[in-house]
Structure 1
């Protein structure tokens, strides 16, 4: 890592942080250490490492982009349940990302960051409100992002917007492609594939169910058929079959 980048990284950490990144720090190692610190009760160190990883991992090691908003996010949420400052830090990170997105800064990264921070804690209404703002100011970008927030739109009660922004097979292909990229990222990081599959099924089932519920059964059936051919897992297939009937998954 270049010296000026290291100095910036250190500047963004809390002044009383017990841990500071060393020159040449590896994001993957920081992620692993954050989990170890949490389990060992070193909560302050764990929090600082989560904040650093979220702020820098995707830039220093792009392949960890998926890990950053999945496993690392889940670990940060787990830390927040035993260490209140971690919860406040999640709130602050989400507020900052949402503010940048509303101001049109760093799009679409800022939007996706805010959504990841909201959805990790099932704050579906906040996701919906931010999406509405994006839809009003950057409609094309919002339509491309709809597949990743449709579950949140429905859970927040905005079934109409979930249907209005549905692009049918185009959305499904985005979901499938995103899932394949995340599987590759998890494999490279030595992590299991449970989270990527959960997100895939949630997004695909939400799309299929919304189409079925809004008079677009032929599209729902076409997507369901393709999705059923994509997985042989009986539980996942059952969720997709229910979605074909307009039944949405109740959890993510």
Structure 2
């Protein structure tokens, strides 16, 4: 027999079913329950909370203004809580909500202001917005967070290898999981190389190129060689 859903999982299913039945008030109630309490039941639901839950909630808000208003309130509250407590998960909530309500640019601007006014606080969560900083070419800010460039590389590789171990242990994760994990690893390495090159750290960028290309060989990673401005592909 299939395993029955947990209470938190049932909240999410109830929300989705309520949307299908065109019962937006009940759907909002269930999305709120999941967002507020799912982690109390199972911390492993963190990714679901910031993806499927927020995605469904944001879609609901497009046609049901109270849901949109509530989501915007939670966005502001998450930022206020982070500024007051320094708890990284609150900033993670803020970024995720901004992404789902199409305010990622505003979130980047907010981080840049925090970087100037509260540098230690910004440093504690910069990894959560690192990709966006690189894509926006905020090189001066990126430079502040490159002293641990080797650690960034090692973390990206560890996350990828860990994902592959999960895929081997649980084949039902599917090819999409493997493809996404591979793309994330490639993006992380390319962003790191780009940030190093644009902040005058060419030798360090070359080092990362070399390490990443060796990892491709050692771990048989299905990627082409990484290249740097000062290094030819091997």
Which runs of structure 2 are paired with 1:161-240 in the superposition (5 Å)?
Answer: 161-166=141-146, 167-175=148-156, 180=162, 197=181, 200-201=184-185, 202-214=187-199, 215=202, 216-222=204-210, 224-225=212-213, 226=215, 229=219, 231-232=221-222, 237=223
Deviation at 1:177, TM superposition (A): 5.3
Higher relative contact order (CA 8 A, sep 6+): 1
Q: Over residues 10-60 of structure 1, what are the superposed CA-to-partner deviations in whole Å (9 max), with x where a residue is unaligned?
A: xxxxxxxxxxxxxxx711211222223223433222222222211111122
Report what 1:153 is aligned to.
Answer: 133
Conserved 8 A contact 1:80-1:86: yes
Structure-2-length-normalised TM-score: 0.69
Deviation at 1:217, TM superposition (A): 1.9
Report what 2:33 is aligned to.
Answer: 52
Structure 1: distance between partners of 2:37 and 2:56: 17
Q: Over residues 54-82 of structure 1, what are the superposed CA-to-partner deviations in whole Å (9 max), with x where a residue is unaligned?
A: 11111221111121112222222332333
Structure 1: distance between partners of 2:96 and 2:195: 22
Task: Please list every run of 5 or more consecutive structure 2 residues that lacks an aligned counterpart in the other structure.
Answer: 1-5, 230-234
Task: Please list every run of 5 or more consecutive structure 1 residues that lacks an aligned counterpart in the other structure.
Answer: 1-24, 247-252
Q: How many residues align?
A: 209
Report what 2:107 is aligned to.
Answer: 127
Determine whether 1:84 maps to 2:68. Answer: no
Which runs of structure 2 are paired with 1:10-25 in the superposition (5 Å)?
Answer: none
CA 1:230/1:174 → structure 2, altered by over 3 Å: closer, same or farther? Answer: farther
CA 1:117/1:244 → structure 2, altered by over 3 Å: closer, same or farther? Answer: farther
User: Could you say what the CA RMSD is over the residues aligned between the two structures, in angstroms?
Assistant: 3.7
Which runs of structure 2 are paired with 1:19-38 in the superposition (5 Å)?
Answer: 26-38=7-19
Q: Over residues 170-206 of structure 1, what are the superposed CA-to-partner deviations in whole Å (9 max), with x where a residue is unaligned?
A: 123344556758x97xx99x98765964983554443
Conserved 8 A contact 2:79-2:91: yes
1:81 counterpart SS class: helix
Structure 2: distance between partners of 1:219 and 1:144: 25
CA 1:68/1:217 → structure 2, altered by over 3 Å: closer, same or farther? Answer: same
Determine whether 1:72 maps to 2:53. Answer: yes
Conserved 8 A contact 2:28-2:67: yes
Conserved 8 A contact 1:33-1:46: yes
Structure 2: distance between partners of 1:230 and 1:48: 47
Q: Which has a greater percent of helix? A: 2
Deviation at 1:212, TM superposition (A): 3.5
Report what 1:7 is aligned to.
Answer: none
Structure 2: distance between partners of 1:45 and 1:209: 47
